[in-house]
Amino acid sequence: MTELKNDRFLKALLREPVDRTPIWMMRQAGRYLPEYRASRATAGSFMDLCMNADFACEVTMQPLERYPLDAAILFSDILTIPDAMDLGLYFETGEGPKFKKVVRTEADVDALPIVNTASDLSYVTKAVSTIRHELNGRVPLIGFSGSPWTLATYMVEGGSSKDFRHVKAMMYNQPEVMHRMLDKLALSVIDYLNAQIMAGAQAVQIFDTWGGVLSHAAYQEFSLKYMQQIVDGLIREHEGRRVPVILFTKGAGQWLESMANTGCDALGIDWTTDLGNARARVGSKVALQGNMDPSVLYASPKRIREEVASILASYGHGTGQVFNLGHGIHQFVDPEHAKAFIEAVVELSPQYHK
């Protein structure tokens, strides 16, 4: 394997010394980039980009060509798993993801297969190895998956939701059925992430976008428990290096301690939590990734730089921070503003590592 030329992202995740704070952006390959929109038009659709390794590789590289980012993230989607469970994922313009089949009854749950990545999702592992080859050691590659709970919300609701009424009704009325579904998803995610690691992913992130809509007790029982099962089942060392695991639950400010106790390496933090406070609570156990409000990128480059400065100051001196947004970059952001953001981190962070 080619030697990694820039490993400050992996080092910061393991809280080893770095020269400056590494940075990447959730959803860094996406619609805010005109070159992404051009590739999608050529490929035909979003899923055509995901399913063709050359297109997936092309769009993964696009933000790296523009900005001094410290990591690449596999171009794919969390909903590949439910699609591989035969639910029929499709995207309608302007409406987000939808499924042809929904999971609403005990019989629906029992009919769900556990995903076998090698046979059902080989297009994803092929994309991983193609991207690794193209990166040629430039920066590490992040693999990812949705959390079981977040995947279940889409599978039960049939798409995006505001009130989560079907999935929450299932959780409260038939908790054992919900647990059976989450267990199948956890086993599928373990197989999927381990296959990504074996194909060359050098860190993995679990996106629990909707864990924050749960009650305090339900979060532990229906979301965190299954992320714990995944952390326990993952390959943690590959190619002679530790493969760090990042857990990101949006809206989890009050649960950081229990998340840090899973044995993951880092937590993704959204902007509703103060980074300095998070560090004081869990910073001796895990690295922290985040946490600028993505909407700051609508403000002027000067204002963006001020916000970067204040987040760096809030975390303070020393390693253990990966700079990121607190959620994915929005589609209407000006790419020049993303540039100002990333450059501010590059320029302002070295003083915190002397």
Q: How many residues of this chain bind ligand CP3 (CB under 6 A)?
A: 21
- How far apart are CB 158 and ligand CP3 at their closest, in Å? 13
- As given in the structure block, the two tokens for residue 28 are 């860094």
Interface segment toward ligand CP3; rule CB under 6 A; list 74-82, 118-126, 293-301, 343-351: 74-82
Report if residue 222 touches ligand CP3, rule: CB under 6 A. no
Interface segment toward ligand CP3; rule CB under 6 A; list 72-80, 196-204, 301-309, 333-341: 72-80
Binding mask 122-161 for ligand CP3 (x = CB under 6 A): ----------------------x---------------x-
- How far apart are CB 5 and ligand CP3 at their closest, in Å? 21
Report if residue 30 touches ligand CP3, rule: CB under 6 A. yes
Report if residue 286 touches ligand CP3, rule: CB under 6 A. no
Q: Looking at 15, 21, 28, 346, which residue binds ligand CP3 (CB under 6 A)?
A: 28
Report if residue 97 touches ligand CP3, rule: CB under 6 A. yes
Q: Looking at 328, 339, 352, 353, which residue binds ligand CP3 (CB under 6 A)?
A: 328
Q: Looking at 77, 120, 265, 270, which residue binds ligand CP3 (CB under 6 A)?
A: 77
- How far apart are CB 201 and ligand CP3 at their closest, in Å? 12
Binding mask 198-217 for ligand CP3 (x = CB under 6 A): ---------x-x--------
Q: Looking at 10, 13, 29, 53, which residue binds ligand CP3 (CB under 6 A)?
A: 29
Of 209 and 321, nearer to ligand CP3 (C-beta) is 209
Report if residue 24 touches ligand CP3, rule: CB under 6 A. no
Report the 3 state secondary structure along the chain: CCCCCCCHHHHHHCCCCCCCCCECCCCCCCCCCHHHHHHHHHHCCHHHHHHCHHHHHHHHHHHHHHCCCCCEECCCCCCHHHHHHHHCEEEECCCEEEECCCCCCHHHHHHCCCCCHHHHCHHHHHHHHHHHHHHCCCCCEEEEEECHHHHHHHHHHCECCCCCHHHHHHHHHCHHHHHHHHHHHHHHHHHHHHHHHHHCCCEEEEEECCHHHCCHHHHHHHHHHHHHHHHHHCCCEECCEECCEEEEECCCHHHHHHHHCCCCCEEECCCCCCHHHHHHHHCCCCEEEEEECHHHHHCCHHHHHHHHHHHHHHHCCCCCEEEEECCCCCCCCCHHHHHHHHHHHHHHCHHHHC
- How far apart are CB 288 and ligand CP3 at their closest, in Å? 18
Q: Looking at 6, 40, 102, 225, which residue binds ligand CP3 (CB under 6 A)?
A: 40
Q: What's the rounded Cα separation, in Å, for the pair 122 and 135?
A: 20
Q: What's the rounded Cα separation, in Å, for the pair 354 and 343?
A: 19
Name the site residues for ligand CP3 (rule: CB under 6 A): 26-31, 40, 46, 73, 75-79, 96-97, 144, 160, 207, 209, 328
